[in-house]
Structure 1
Amino acid sequence: MPFLVLLLLIFFSTPSFSQPMKESPHQIWKVGDRRWTVEEEVQYGKWVEKNITEDFFIRYKIPIDCADVPYAVRWIYARIAHLPAAATTKDGKWIGHWSSEWGKLPTHSEWHKDLRFRKALFHILTETTTRTLPLDTYPVGIDRDSITPGTVFFVTESHSGIIGRLILDGSSIHPLQTWEATSPVKLQKMSERDFLTPRPESTIYSGLVKFRWPIFEKKQWKYLPVMEHPFYSLEQYSGSFSEEYTDFVQAVAKRIDPTDYDPWEKIERVLDNTVQYVRERVPIVLAGYKRCQKGGCPEGSDLWSIHSTPNRDGKIILLMDHLHHLIESNYFHQDAAKEIMEEISIPIQKGQSVTFSHVYQNYLWLSPHPEDSIEARWGLKKCEMILSQLRNTQNSIAFIEKTYRRRDPKYADFSVRQQQEIIRKLIEEWDRSQCKVAPLPSKKKEDEKIR
């Protein structure tokens, strides 16, 4: 309750930042007469779309978690553009570009070499969370003018990210593409995902939001009142917002891109987009193999985070599933789509290529591990991967038996049955793929266990 009271007080008021306009040589950066405007928000969106990539924070050595992404991206751009920036800390304090706590550190014209800015940024990222986002943002209308790259989305006290780009040609699962990170804080690649979030809460103003504008008034920095921001709207919290749609996510999609696409045109566009995304994986895999083929990139290490592809492969799985659904639900276009996929060649290394059809049929068997061979990374070592997963599943069963059999036999039985079902499916895939070396355990023995 105290937190909600604080939120309401800040959200509908203009908290002051006691700082005269005369800029101190010790503040984080100077803004002069630069201020946020609609045009500056447009420029911010263009910068986000052009510059933010999955490895952005790795390149600049900034450890992050999910809540850090919105704050870090906004502050970095504000620093580059010499625009005002502010943030509310977990204990209710306000920090801004005017703060002078780091004044003894040197500055630099380039933000990533600016020690004063980097120190302040790291402090801000440790002192802000998804709980502070409602204090620094305001809800926006769900339309193309309001939802631009850099727009924030967040789930109450749970998860957050930013809109990375809008795809308005029907080639994606959802027109809004997001950049997201995971907990805990670490040096990590971000995931590019299709917008997916539960219905926002009006009590905390979660959902799709933008950062509030710091303004200088009466010799003090303060936030522009929420309702005076140009994109302000409460429409996403209306009970009628999602009435005609399956859920909030679909309602957002239709407001951003209301076009009803021809089925074949939709298949072609999703296919082209998926092919492009798969092609972008090629140099990433090659670079990872070059660096990690002799070891030194164990799972969980910084090098593994840099060169592995679990997030990208997860996106490929979603795109392939979406493409599969489109093709299978349009019977008259199935043969044509499959012919096109057979004709698309993807060079995976010098002297070796795979067809897109191969990737389409084996996307679940792409290895994300940078120490694996190029063939394994592209699903050409499917039998080896099945065998590896069989061994891992057997190890899981052994762990369950050792840990839970005496302590909780019912849970042990339940868990073992789940693992046995995984083994059954793996053995079926082994047989379907005509793998020649008998897997362990044998299909006969595993069937007997399941019975």
Structure 2
Amino acid sequence: MNVKALLIALIMSTGLMAQAAVWSSQNVWSQAQEDRYSLWVVENFKADIFSNPKNPWYGISTDCADAVYAARIIFAYANSLPVAFTNIENMKRSLTNSMTNWDRLPEIDRVRKFIQLVSDLTSTQTLGHDTVPVAIQREFVRPGAIFLNPTLTPEEENIVGTRGGHAEMIIDVNENGFIRSLYSTTPSKVRELITTRNPYTWPISRLGGFRIWKTAASPAPNNQQFEMAGWTSYGRPTRKQIYQWHEGIRKELRLRPPTIDERIDVVVESICNLWQGRVDAVNAAWKAVRDAGGRCPSAGLLDEHSTNRRDARLREAYGQLNDLMHWRKNNYDVPSAIGDIKDAKEVLMACHVMTGFAANNAWELFLKMIDGHLVADARWSPAVRWGETSRYGGQQCR
């Protein structure tokens, strides 16, 4: 090959390299592919998918929406399927596997860069546009489906009193109708995902609820769930309304009614998981302060490291448990039952929480919580946030 031919070949090769997509989509989404995705979630979407060094996707940072998007990307890449996600900057579905931003990188590195870009440019708000609500049937509400509460605009937040913002991936639907989900949380970081069977809210708007990914093969939106148990958009539901809505969902999905002990187990499990998540959040917050030489993080990071919403969820969960104990006393023959949360003292004491301080089980922490000793504000040291030291004598970032 002469010099001129070599140069032409090199230019053509470089031009082709410059157009390398994240991956090539040789297949299309179909019902069969969605069935495979559901099975993949059961077999591969585990709590340590991003946190275990032995997993190929180790090291990916996530919050709740990030984890849901990342799972879809990983499956699509492995099966040569296309993806198109909504970019929050222009609300267009411009985040696709055809992007050529990282053409000089190996393919697996391009996929990781794409996951990071999608994490940066999507949220629970865009997730509502990338999915469709479904009928409450096991055909649709199954592993791989999503429960979503989208982030609200500031105007909507003023109406509702909360900003929303949560997404969970369904990994199992029990025969008693309870749904097990996995989710990440804020701030975005490499973490083990959290499991729950106890939803704490209903969808704030019709862009939330139980949903599946939007593709050419997906069914038309179905609004059945928004007609159940007095659901209203942009409302301020009580704990009872939220429970009744989810109970309506469970009744549609269950093969048999749950026992009272199964109901109690679900709530106690969620309380244990929430406390463990609080341990992680408090420790991460104070590490950020120490790493900054004792200085307070930015306002945004302070908000992410604080536990106001998590503590509110804990109070709601304990309220649920109190309600269940009242119902248990009035509907079952339970000798010596009091009919309130004190009946659950034994099971709550069996839930050990490694706070590093004297209160280290879910009963002792409940007492501290109702006495107002726990502090959500991330500016304070762990001793203050767990109620071992008052704010007057406690340590604070500067």
What TM-score do the two structures reach when normalised by structure 1?
0.54
Question: Is the 2:23–2:107 contact (alpha carbons within 8 Å) kept by the matching residues of 1?
Answer: no
For 2:368, the equivalent position in structure 1 comes to 362
The answer to whether the aligner puts 1:337 opposite 2:344 as a matched pair is yes
Change (3 A) 1:130 1:347: closer
- Distance between the aligned counterparts of 1:289 and 1:151, measured in 2? 35
- Distance between the aligned counterparts of 2:378 and 2:176, measured in 1? 29
One-letter amino acid of the structure 1 residue matched with residue 145 of structure 2:
T
Secondary structure of the 1:39 match is helix
Change (3 A) 1:336 1:237: closer
Question: Is the 1:171–1:269 contact (alpha carbons within 8 Å) kept by the matching residues of 2?
Answer: no
Change (3 A) 1:321 1:314: same
Question: Is the 2:176–2:257 contact (alpha carbons within 8 Å) kept by the matching residues of 1?
Answer: no
Secondary structure of the 2:322 match is helix
Change (3 A) 1:69 1:285: closer
- Distance between the aligned counterparts of 2:218 and 2:347, measured in 1? 51
Correspondences of 1:136-151 after superposition (within 5 Å): 136-151=130-145
The offset of 1:29, in angstroms, is 1.3
Correspondences of 1:211-250 after superposition (within 5 Å): 211-213=213-215, 224-227=216-219, 234=222, 236=224, 239=227, 241-242=228-229, 248-250=245-247
Change (3 A) 1:48 1:160: farther
For 1:320, the equivalent position in structure 2 comes to 318
Q: Which segments of 5 or more consecutive residues in structure 2 lack a partner in the other structure?
A: 1-15, 52-56, 154-163, 232-239, 330-335, 394-398
The offset of 1:39, in angstroms, is 1.6
- Distance between the aligned counterparts of 2:299 and 2:174, measured in 1? 38
Change (3 A) 1:43 1:140: same
Considering only aligned residues, what root-mean-square deviation do their CA atoms show, in Å? 5.1
For 2:106, the equivalent position in structure 1 comes to 107
1:348 equivalent among 348, 351, 355: 355
For 1:271, the equivalent position in structure 2 comes to 268
For 1:408, the equivalent position in structure 2 comes to none
For 1:416, the equivalent position in structure 2 comes to none
Which is further off, 335-344 or 143-152? Answer: 335-344
Question: Is the 1:162–1:179 contact (alpha carbons within 8 Å) kept by the matching residues of 2?
Answer: yes
Secondary structure of the 2:140 match is coil
- Distance between the aligned counterparts of 2:352 and 2:126, measured in 1? 48
- Distance between the aligned counterparts of 1:341 and 1:156, measured in 2? 33
Identity %: 19
Question: Is the 1:48–1:164 contact (alpha carbons within 8 Å) kept by the matching residues of 2?
Answer: no
- Distance between the aligned counterparts of 1:258 and 1:316, measured in 2? 29
Secondary structure of the 1:87 match is strand
Change (3 A) 1:175 1:301: same
Secondary structure of the 2:325 match is helix
1:41 equivalent among 38, 42, 63: 38
- Distance between the aligned counterparts of 2:121 and 2:142, measured in 1? 26
Which one has a bigger Cα radius of gyration? 1
One-letter amino acid of the structure 2 residue matched with residue 366 of structure 1:
L
Change (3 A) 1:283 1:289: same
Change (3 A) 1:76 1:357: same
After superposition, what is the alpha-carbon deviation per residue over 1:198-253, rounded to whole angstroms, capped at 9, x for unaligned?
4764xxx764221134xxxxxxxxxx2444xxxx66262685x5479956444223
One-letter amino acid of the structure 2 residue matched with residue 79 of structure 1:
Y
Aligned length, in residue pairs: 333
Question: Is the 2:17–2:103 contact (alpha carbons within 8 Å) kept by the matching residues of 1?
Answer: no
Secondary structure of the 2:47 match is helix
After superposition, what is the alpha-carbon deviation per residue over 1:327-368, rounded to whole angstroms, capped at 9, x for unaligned?
345454346533454576655338x55443221212253234
Change (3 A) 1:77 1:37: closer
